[in-house]
């Protein structure tokens, strides 16, 4: 009798193992970001990288599967609200950047799309966390925007008093600026790290090449 049990090829086995490993790494970084009191900035920078690497090595389908596996794992560990928060913006951002770099899309487009996804995801996360804690967390960002606007008015000696709309726009601008820096930092990190893992990303545009050419690693 012949054995009718289907067997995985070597490439399929490697794809499954690598996907599970990188999905678990994503979950561990998310847990560290959520529960550890130190290292938050480093964890945020590292969080999208495993799933981006998975896409570069195994394709977009593997990236989606890895993200779903990470979300399921975190949902089991953290509950149905905190676990899926990985998607906003880190999970969706990892899918976008991985997809863009697999296709050789320019940094300008991948950066711009990442800023939009990052900003939208940040706002969704603020909404969900506000529901979890029973307090409007957007107020904290609005206060920061109001303080910055007051400093600008005082520095420029403008005879105006900002209204609520201007304060909200300044708060949103702060979020956008944060994402501009964050997504560009992800590009730079991937440009430095991924070639060492035999998964290079597209070259930066000439205008940005001098910024990322000094590899600290």
Per-residue pLDDT for the chain (217 aa), expressed as one digit of tens each?
445 556 667 777 777 888 889 999 999 999 998 888 788 889 999 999 999 999 999 888 889 999 999 999 999 998 888 889 999 999 999 999 999 999 999 999 999 999 999 999 999 989 888 888 888 888 888 888 788 778 878 887 777 777 778 888 888 888 999 999 999 999 999 999 999 998 999 999 888 887 776 666 6
pLDDT at position 27: 92
* Start-end of H helices in 59-106: 60-78, 90-102
Q: What is the CATH code of the structural domain delimited by 10-212? A: 1.10.1760
Measuring CA to CA, which residue among 126, 181, 173 is closest to residue 149? 173
CA distance 200 to 191: 7
- Structure-block tokens of residue 193: 């790290």
Q: Return the domain boundaries, the chain.
A: 10-212
The residue with tokens 């991985």 is 98
Asked whether the beta carbons of 186 and 45 are under 8 A apart, the reply is: yes
- The structure's pTM equals 0.88
> Burial code of 106-121, b = ≥16 C-beta within 10 A, e = fewer?
ebeebbebbbebbbeb
């Amino acid at each position: 009798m012949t054995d009718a049990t289907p067997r995985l090829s070597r490439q399929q086995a490697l794809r499954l193992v690598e996907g599970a490993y990188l999905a678990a790494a994503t979950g561990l970084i998310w847990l560290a970001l959520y529960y550890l009191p130190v290292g938050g900035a480093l964890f945020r920078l590292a969080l999208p990288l495993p799933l981006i690497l998975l896409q570069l090595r195994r394709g977009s389908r593997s990236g989606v599967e890895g993200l779903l596996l990470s979300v399921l794992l975190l949902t089991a560990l953290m509950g149905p609200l905190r676990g899926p928060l990985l998607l906003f913006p880190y999970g969706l951002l990892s899918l976008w950047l991985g997809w863009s770099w697999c296709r050789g899309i320019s940094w300008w487009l991948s950066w711009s799309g990442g800023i939009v996804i990052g900003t939208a995801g940040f706002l969704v996360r603020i909404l969900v966390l506000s529901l979890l804690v029973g307090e409007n967390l957007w107020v904290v960002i609005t206060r920061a925007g109001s303080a910055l606007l007051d400093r600008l008015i005082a520095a420029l000696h403008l005879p105006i008093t900002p209204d609520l709309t201007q304060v909200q726009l300044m708060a949103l601008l702060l979020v956008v600026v944060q994402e501009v820096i964050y997504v560009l930092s992800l590009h730079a990190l991937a440009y430095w790290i991924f070639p060492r893992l035999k998964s290079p990303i597209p070259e930066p545009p000439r205008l940005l090449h001098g910024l990322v050419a000094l590899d600290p690693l």
